[in-house]
Amino acid sequence: MRLLLIEDDDDIALVIDQALAADGHQLDRAADGLDGLWMAREGDYGAIVLDLLLPGMNGFKVCQTLREEGLQTPILMLTAKVGEYDETDGFESGADDYLRKPFSPAVLRARVAALLRRPPTIKSVEQLTRGGVTLDPATRACRVDGAEVELTGRQAQLLEALLRTEDQPVSRLHLTNLVWGADFDGDPNVVDVYVGYLRTKLGRQRVENVRGLGYRIRA
């Protein structure tokens, strides 16, 4: 199983990597909260091990943001802090389990295994459909003319934004705000790049550029 570790301490990350590798898991790692948030959105992980105190964005905010965006991947939160309010805040932010440092590698393995055995807690009944394209926003499951198409988290977010507007084109600026956030300061052409990814996967003709207005999914 592919797992994501968001942990800034190299020594702790090594212990976790060795412990979970013993159960056959492959571990991707982010060393700060913002990178971890991006990787969680883009990757397809069975579970996330998330430290609380992180540079860039703390674990509470990372977890809360992912849950608000609809990501239901199980999250095990780690912390060196001691206190029932920290634990309560962790669960309220959307964490599925909580483990205090220092911890036994055996306990970590058992907690992760328990999370992986859990059935999904939320199943979406919502389906967005237009022009032969169907998307389940909660699971990111996408079909084009009945055939499954695999999307990354960000690609699915972009497609969802386009499908929700139905026939109305969406400007690049509005898509950037919806998918990457109003404070995004990266490549201004990021929307065009990801539209290119969608065209490759969905068919070029399905994502229409309406001159001067933006993009839409063609009916």
pLDDT tier at 120 (50, 70, 90 boundaries)? Answer: low
Residue type, 122: I
pTM for this structure? 0.58
CA distance 29 to 27: 6
Q: Which of 108, 52, 59, 107 is nearest to 81 (CA)?
A: 52
pLDDT tier at 85 (50, 70, 90 boundaries)? Answer: very low
Name the least confident of 71-75, 82-86, 91-95, 166-170: 82-86
CA distance 200 to 83: 50
Please classify residue 89 by burial: count the beta carbons closer than 10 Å to its beta carbon, then call 0-12 exposed, 13-18 middle and 19+ buried: buried
Full set of structural domains in the chain with CATH: 2-117 (3.40.50.2300), 128-217 (1.10.10.10)
> What's the average model confidence in pLDDT over 170-190?
83
Q: Tell me the per-residue pLDDT of 86-109, one tens digit each, with 9 for 90 and over.
A: 555 556 677 888 888 889 999 999
Q: Tell me the per-residue pLDDT of 42-65, one tens digit each, with 9 for 90 and over.
A: 888 999 999 998 999 999 899 988
DSSP letter for 170, please: B
Query: No. of H helices and E strands in the chain?
Result: 8, 11
- 185 CB contacts (<8 Å, ≥6 apart)? none
